[in-house]
Chains A and B, each alone.
Chain A
Amino acid sequence: MLNILDNNHDDAHDGTVNPVEQFLRSDRMPHIWCPGCGIGTTVNSFAHALIESKIDLESLALVSGIGCTGRVAGYVKLDSFHTTHGRAIPFATGLKLANPKLNVVVYSGDGDLSAIGGNHLIHAARRNIDLKVICVNNLIYAMTGGQTAPTTPGHATTSTNPYGTFEPAFNLPHLVEAAGAVYVARWTTFHVRQLARSISEAFQKKGFSFIEVISPCPTLYQRRNKMGDGLDTMKYYKEKSKVKHGAPTSEVGLTLNGEIVVGKFVDRDRPDYQTMMRAQYVESLGDRYLGDEVETECVCG
């Protein structure tokens, strides 16, 4: 006879509720992510950052692309948009420009953001659009069955490189720093509190913030590469991560089973897109500039 330790409801019989629960669409639990997948863990850090930063949830919008991480949008109880593959960032840009009061988070995966979405990633960073981008990097295209991603380390086995990858992988922090991001950090799903802190810091910044989170994909990446399960991967993160705040991003590339440099790499200030836009129009047009805000009456009557 099994000894059920607790109830089956989202709040415990003794009335305590997980602080993350308020951000979840509880009616859609349990979610589809695999046992040992780290995406849910990143959502905990995100939720804690929201609590810590006292973000107004009603003016927070979350935009995701396609892939396992893209499913985050459907599980959070926020204005959330599950868009097309690679295009979360331009959608988010439109959202932010039409309603500058919104806090816009892009939550998507490494393949979505750096392969098909790569062009949009670099341009949004260049423009310094005020977006908080959380890139969950499981080094693979997981949802579609484990294909090579631009972030897959060399000599890994994937379904489209069955004899091993041989391409150099993107060093995402380096890429977005070079493109112009004002805040760049990397953590793993082991670093739950540091990740929450980084997300909070990103909320305090105006401009393009990029937080990469290395996460297990036990079903595909780890399994095909005989790296154990999610827990084994978390132990590897614990053992092989090195915190190096301010490390040159050119030196934080990832290798198969190698050291993972984590930390806050870039934290700088430069005016965000909308600040520059308004300044330019004011300089050119003076009083004739009527601003970028869309009047609701003009749309809704």
Chain B
Amino acid sequence: MAKGRVSIVVERCKACGFCVEFCPTHVLALSSAFNSKGYHPPHVVHPEKCSGCDLCGMYCPDFAINGTKIPQDKVPQQKVAGGEK
């Protein structure tokens, strides 16, 4: 069960790759989707590994992502990217 959840503001992302690189548990990857500026935002590939540490949020220069801890009595439905790349 994931301890954390990631929220992404797709339109702000500039695909720098910091969040993907520095997530300690490799939750993220750059998707093949793109936003209206043509950047590939990240997506969650390992939701179960998210601890909600918010390092992604701290690294993101575009304020486009952040991680939050999930209170452990709740069971979230984290969206998973499927079928890309």
Contact = CB atoms under 8 A, between A and B. Distances in A.
Contact of A2 (B16, B34, B62, B66): B34
Contacts of A31: 62
Question: Is chain A's interface secondary structure helix, strand, loop, or mixed overall?
Answer: loop
Contacts of B15: 35
Contact of A234 (B11, B18, B43): B18
Given A9-B9, A36-B16, A3 B68 contact: no
Contacts of B5: 14, 16
A231 B58 contact: no
Nearest to A6: B8
Interface string B3-34: 00101111110111110011000000001111
Given A5-B10, A231-B18, A37 B61 contact: yes
Contacts of A196: 58
B44 interface: yes
B11 A20 contact: no
Interface residues of B, number: 41
B61 A3 contact: no
Interface residues of A, number: 43
A3 B33 contact: yes
A192 interface: yes
Interface of B: 5, 7-12, 14-18, 21-22, 31-34, 37, 39, 41, 43-44, 54-55, 57-63, 65-66, 68, 76, 79, 81-84
Smallest CB-CB A-B distances: 6 pairs: A40-B61, A12-B7, A2-B33, A35-B14, A18-B66, A192-B58
Interface of A: 2-12, 14, 16, 18-21, 24, 29-31, 33-41, 43-45, 48, 189, 192-193, 196, 229-231, 234-235
